[in-house]
Structure 1
Amino acid sequence: MSEKKGNNGQRGGMGGGPMGSFAGPKVKAKDFKGTLKRLLSYLKPQRTNFILVFIFAIFSTVFTIVGPKISGKAITRLVEGMMNKYGLLQLHAQQDKIAAVIKANPGAANSPKVIGGLDQIKAGISKIMDINGGKIDFTYIRNIILLLLGLYVISTIFGFLQQYIMAEVAQKTVYNLRKEVEDKLSRLPLKFFDSKTHGEILSRVTNDVDNISTTLQQSLTQLITSIVTIIGIVVMMLTISPLMTLVVILTLPLYIVVTAFVAKRSQKYFATQQKEIGELNGHVEEMYTGHKIVKSFGHEKDSVQEFRNINDRLYNAGWKAQFISGVIMPMMRFVSNIGYVVVCVVGGYLATQGKITIGNIQAFIQYSNQFTQPIVQTANIANIIQSTVASAERIFELLDEVEEIEETADSKVIELPKGEVKFEHVDFSYKKEEALIKDMNIDVKRGHTIAIVGPTGAGKTTLVNLLMRFYEIDAGKISIDGVDIRDIKRGELRSMFGMVLQDTWLFNGTIMENIAYGREGATDEEAMQAARAAHAHHFIKTLPDGYNTILNEEASNISQGQKQLLTIARAILANPTIMILDEATSSVDSRTEVYIQRAMTELMQNRTSFVIAHRLSTIKDAELILVMDKGSIIETGSHNELLAQNGFYADLYNSQFAGANLDNEVM
């Protein structure tokens, strides 16, 4: 139970550390390529929108990527303006110095050296003045800033459109997938649900589908953006300096080595963390659902101690997983700083050679810092996609399950069913090598009550399942009013039946809604009439809100007997032709049993009824009693006839009143 609960969180632990899913446990599909191809086929109806998402992602990323290089132009112009202003001040200072020399010694004015110096200064001043009058070109810088703002606004708009369209693509795709899964579940036979736990089916329908939804909505667009960003950054760096680009690319192996080193050591701890989370969830659920038993037998301390043990193991695994994965960021920053130093040294050298501007060095440093992020994201997304394909494979396994036998094209409808049921030479087995029912023959007349008794595993419930076509027979024929049930649509067939089971089922809602569930379109008055016939009206009226009383999730705010009366009222409202009763009184007190027996008598009146009996005292009045053992009917007859035979039924009946060994009791 505990391990099953651990499956309910597909992404748990995969994004817990600073590394994200790259350090988390990998969940791989058995057939990755085949499953991925099948999953992508669900995107085909949305391919136009998907292409638009791809285009918008490219535009959004490109407009962002060109920003650093354009801002570099502004920085270059700003630095040049400041240098020109500083140079102009220096030249004027030199000019003033020469003027002071001439003033002190007028004869020096005709010196070739002085004249040449003045000419050089004037030429320098003239050259600087030709460049924006020797001032900082704030107009150019302002235009660059406005251009950048425009580019970033456009990039944001494209990013918004990308997410908006991708949301529609993801939700429509998942909507169709959920619909297909739900339709499939309605077509699966009962044996599928008998062989799977509720938690497993629920996990596939909810968690696995949600995993795909999240990946389509977030990870797929991130993957596109990351790939475009990597390509775009490399192109922009190459336009600035191929040599410096080579320096940055040479640091990539270091990133890979560091990431692989940490991921290898952290994955086992993330896997342990997931296992312990599952154990903890399972323990908490078991203790919560069975808290009365725990308290009754005084095991609170044991329960708390078990929780502490699991919690300690979870703490240790979680701490190690988070710590080891947390080491990745300092190590990657270390590698990034090494690359940063090398880029600065090479960039500085190239600047002194006049081969690169200051603005381009600044832009390149920005690109080199941005270069690692999309690489790590791509690695993370690759793992997420593996997990997503594994989820898709689980869903496709469900979609590929063998369905119920298809309805016949010329299916028949019994307009006014009488309720005459016949089993003719029926064989059935859950496993081919182990026959359960062999050559069963039953002829049930209209309005008769047929009781089915026998020990556990005799085939009593199986017989009912065959009657309603929850399972298909291996051989023979089952007919209602002379019509083979295989020639009747399952919906039409099952609408003839009403069921009151030992395990009551009521949903979260009002009492009125639960009774009205028996027949679509039933009025409140009809539901109340059914409640009166089921002897449930009195207790309902004593509740604070009467028929508007809301039953909680497990309907624990009313007693077991009251639940059973409500299910009988629901069956009465359905007004079926054939009733199936699975010992509705086995878990109630004697006084409540009297009310339920009265309600059941009302329910079975003028109807063909199949009663699975555990208490033989409740079936004395049945027209026919079938005694089953190991899948075969070994005795038939009325109560008195079977007692007179002094056989298997007589032994069962007498054991219930003589306090015989439990091995001889029914169920």
Structure 2
Amino acid sequence: MKDLRKTDKFRKNTLIKVLHHIRHYWMFLISSILLAAITVALTLYVPILIGNTIDLILGKGQVNFSGIFHLLTKITIVVCSTSLLQWLMNIINNKIAFHVIRDIRKEAFEKIETLPLKYIDSHAYGEIVSRIISDVDQFTDGLLLGFTQLFTGIITILGTLFFMFSLNWKIALLVVVLTPLSLLVARFIARKTYRMFWLQSEARGEQTALIDEMINNQKVVQAFSHEPEVIEQFDEINNRLADYSFRATFFSSITNPATRFINSIVYAGVGLVGALSCITSGGTFTVGQLSCFLSYASQYTKPFNEISGVITELQNALACAARVFELMEEESQVGEKIDATVLKNIEGNVSIKNADFSYAPDKKLIENLNLTVTSGQRIAIVGPTGCGKTTIINLLMRFYDVDSGSIQVEENDIREVTRKSLRSSYGMVLQETWLKAGSIRENIIMGSPEATDEEVIAAAKASHAHNFIMNLPHGYDTIINEDGGSLSQGQKQLLCITRVMLCLPPILILDEATSSIDTRTELKIQEAFALLMQGRTSFIVAHRLSTIRDADIILVMKNGRVIEQGNHEELLKKNGFYTSLYNSQFEV
């Protein structure tokens, strides 16, 4: 089965994207190439000096010690200079690699911030994390190895060819004819390894996603005794990863021995032909020159071994880079217009006109939804699971855009205003709490960074969170992790409510905001909400219908449509779907 991501064209495109990121550091790149050329030239100069030294040892009593000492001193200086320049070149290569990786990881993270929610909702979080962390790390290793060996290898090949042809073109021609064999072997193996490394990266992403899911939901797994199934699922992915890793390693591991075998044949051929030339040339091709030529032959074939190893690592690096670029090239959420309006002086007037929306084109959800809300009204949204209650909230916040129709705030189509000004107009408390790693205070002031300690405490007291916060080890300075650590679900929800209490936004969205709070505290919270909602437009998603009796408008939804609309008393008089829902919650 062919896969576009595993074709040569796709691999070349990935390489072009990598080079596009490298070009920002062209000065470092040029410096690296120049240093590579200098170090190779010095390295290739050493065999000439060694050959000249050998030719000064003519026989017993015919050794030119002063000449040998002079040449050995020169060899020492050249070798030390080469080592110093190679060290400097490696520093530059590391700088290029880590700067490129920093840029790619930054772009990938920024991309996540602009991805539409439908992408996040349809992909495992752990798999996305794997692309930015594991895949980028793997790419780093390949890129470092490539910079370290690729330039010097290519320049060494060209340099040794020049010197060999200048010494003896016939023997040099023999080397050139035999060398392509190692390139053919390396190319064949590279094709095999790229696919295996891609599959390895995919399996690693699946494994990370499963581990992340299990850690976050370990209580659920244990509560339903689901451990054997989870272990079986992990074993399947783990065995698949081991298989891909083994096959990738197997193919990559035969590259070096195969190319070394061919290069050894080249070296033996040079030695044999060179020895015969020394015997038959009548002194035109000396033993020192043969020594020099053999050294060049060894240096000529060595880069092929190194480059073949680099190619193998690059297959892994390119496979990982392709997955990162695939994420970075995902379609972003619809951008804001250049002249987008900044909402100001919001009173809370909202209208929905002929709105249609569906998550999947072939499955209708919201159809022809119409609603007019004036400032200060309380709108309750009720209905069975999956009817579209939370979807309306997502549309109001512009987490998703309507397929047709419009949603307006203060007579401004929300697609024509900035997302920041729109979302800062809402205060939202969801059934699913969200906290970040940091202090209690940092979590509360997320929407109001400039809030004073007095304002934070006042908001916490209004939400009845102050007492439990003060019982924490360090009060408002207590550090929690992203899931709230040892805080109960109710305490986490109180913090989210406090956050909204502090912001005092003109429009409120409460999606089962008190579902995790005990009855006694809920009554106090309802009182606080009642005070908070005075003069503010409020959208309340509720399952417990007793909590929304005082709503100005109740939208009764079913299958994505508003089938009934009115206040509590009006809907009961209709004796329709709302009445059956309401009565079902109070049947004895």
**Structure 1 partner of 2:45:** 66
Secondary structure, aligned partner of 1:364: helix
Kindly indicate whether the alpha-carbon contact (under 8 Å) linking 1:57 and 1:221 is maintained by their aligned counterparts in 2.
no
Residue 55 of structure 1 is aligned with which of 34, 40, 65? 34
Relative distance call for 1:600 and 1:218 in structure 2 (3 A) is farther
Alignment of 1:335-484 (within 5 A): 335-353=262-280, 354-382=283-311, 384-385=313-314, 394=323, 397-432=326-361, 434-484=363-413
Q: Pairwise CA RMSD of aligned residues?
A: 3.6
Deviation, structure 1 residue 636: 1.3
On the 8 A contact 2:197/2:316 being kept in 1, the answer is no
Q: For the structure 1 residues 198 and 160, does the alpha-carbon distance in structure 2 shift closer, same or farther, using more than 3 Å as the test?
A: same
Alignment partner of 1:233 out of 137, 146, 160 = 160
**Any unmatched runs of 5+ in structure 2?**
none
In structure 2, the residue matched to 1:488 is 417
**What is the Cα deviation at residue 564 of structure 1?**
0.2
How much does 1:455 deviate? Answer: 1.8
Paired AA for residue 53 in structure 2:
A
Q: Do 2:145 and 2:310's aligned partners in 1 also have CA atoms closer than 8 Å?
A: no
- Contact 2:433 2:496 (C-alpha < 8 Å) held by counterparts: yes
Within the alignment, does 1:500 sit opposite 2:479 as a pair?
A: no
Question: Out of 546, 569, 584, which is 1:617 matched to?
Answer: 546
Selected match of 2:556 from 616, 627, 633: 627
- 1:37-56 to 2 correspondence within 5 Å? 37-56=16-35
Say if 1:529 and 1:72 are closer, same or farther in 2 by CA, change over 3 A: farther
What displacement does 1:544 show? 1.8
From 520, 525, 531, the equivalent of 2:460 is 531
Q: In the superposition, relative to structure 1, how do residues 613 and 325 fare at CA in structure 2: closer, same or farther (>3 Å)? A: same
Secondary structure in 1 matching 2:391: helix
The answer on whether the counterparts of 2:190 and 2:315 sit within 8 Å (CA) in structure 1 is no
Please say which of residues 524-533 and 538-547 is displaced more in the overlay.
Answer: 524-533
Question: Any idea what the Cα deviations from partners look like across 1:561-605, whole Å, max 9, x if unmatched?
Answer: 000000111111122111111112334544554454445445434
Query: 2:570 pairs with 635, 638, 641, which one?
Result: 641
CA distance in 2, matches of 1:326, 1:591: 67
- Deviations 1:159-191 (CA, angstroms, capped at 9, x unpaired): 344344444444554555455445544444433
Deviates more, 1:585-594 or 1:362-371: 585-594
Shift of 1:559: 0.5
1:481 offset after TM fit, Å? 2.9
Partner residue in 1 for 2:73: 146
Partner SS, residue 562 of structure 2 = strand
Query: What amino acid does structure 1 have at the position aligned with 2:556?
Result: V
CA contact (8 A) 1:29 1:387 kept: no
2:149 to 208, 222, 225: 222
Distance 1:314 1:169, change over 3 A: closer
Matched residue type, 1:532: K
Contact 1:419 1:578 in 2 (8 A): yes
Q: Which moved more, 1:635-644 or 1:247-256?
A: 247-256
Sequence identity (%): 41
Amino acid at match of 1:219: G
Deviation at 1:649, TM superposition (A): 0.9
Q: Which residue of 1 aligns with 2:85?
A: 158
User: Tell me, which stretches of 5 or more residues in structure 1 are unaligned?
Assistant: 1-25, 86-133, 660-667
* Native 8 Å contact 2:127 2:208 kept in 1: no
Aligned residues: 582
Tell me the TM-score normalised to structure 1 length: 0.76
Task: Give the partner amino acid of 1:154.
Answer: S
Question: How far has the Cα of 1:411 moved from its partner?
Answer: 4.0
Distance in 2, matches of 1:202 and 1:634, equals 42
Q: 1:45 and 1:74 mapped to 2: Cα distance?
A: 46
Q: Is 1:580 paired with 2:509?
A: yes
Instruction: Give the aligned partner of residue 521 of structure 1.
Output: 450
Partners of 1:506 and 1:492 lie apart in 2 by 22
Indicate the structure whose relative CO is greater, using CA pairs within 8 Å and at least 6 residues apart. 1
Between 387-396 and 494-503, report the one with greater CA deviation.
387-396
2:447 partner SS: coil
What amino acid maps onto 1:158 in structure 2? Answer: L
| Deviation for aligned residue 1:512 | 1.4
Instruction: Report if the CA contact (8 A) 1:29-1:393 is conserved.
Output: no
Match of 1:242 in 2: 169
SS in 2 for 1:62: helix
1:509 matched to 2:438? The reply is yes
Q: Of residues 529, 551, 554 in structure 1, which corresponds to 2:480? A: 551
Cα pair distance change 1:341/1:43, threshold 3 Å: closer
Question: Counterpart of 2:579 in structure 1: which amino acid?
Answer: A
Offset from partner CA, 1:18-37 (integer Å, 9 cap, x none): xxxxxxxx954654555544
- Mapped to 2, the partners of 1:409 and 1:315 lie a distance apart of 50
Compared with structure 1, are the counterparts of its residues 601 and 377 closer, same or farther at alpha carbon in structure 2 (3 Å cutoff)?
A: farther
8 Å CA contact 2:439–2:477 kept in 1: the answer is yes
Q: Secondary structure at the match of 1:506?
A: coil
C-alpha separation in 2, matches of 1:358 and 1:293: 78
Cα distance in 2, alignment partners of residues 374 and 651 from structure 1: 80
Asked if 2 retains the 8 angstrom alpha-carbon contact of 1:423 and 1:440, the reply is: yes
Amino acid at match of 1:350: S
Q: Deviations over 1:520-558 (max 9, x none)?
A: 222233222221111111011111222222112422311
Q: For 2:289, what is the secondary structure of its paired residue?
A: helix
Return closer, same or farther for 1:305/1:406 CA change in 2, 3 Å cut-off: closer
Distance across 1 between alignment mates of 2:298 and 2:86: 22
Residue 498 of structure 1 deviates from its aligned partner by: 1.0
- Is the alpha carbon distance of 1:212 and 1:611 closer, same or farther for their aligned partners in structure 2, counting shifts above 3 Å? same
Take 2:363 and 2:226, find their aligned partners in 1: how far apart are those partners?
Answer: 42
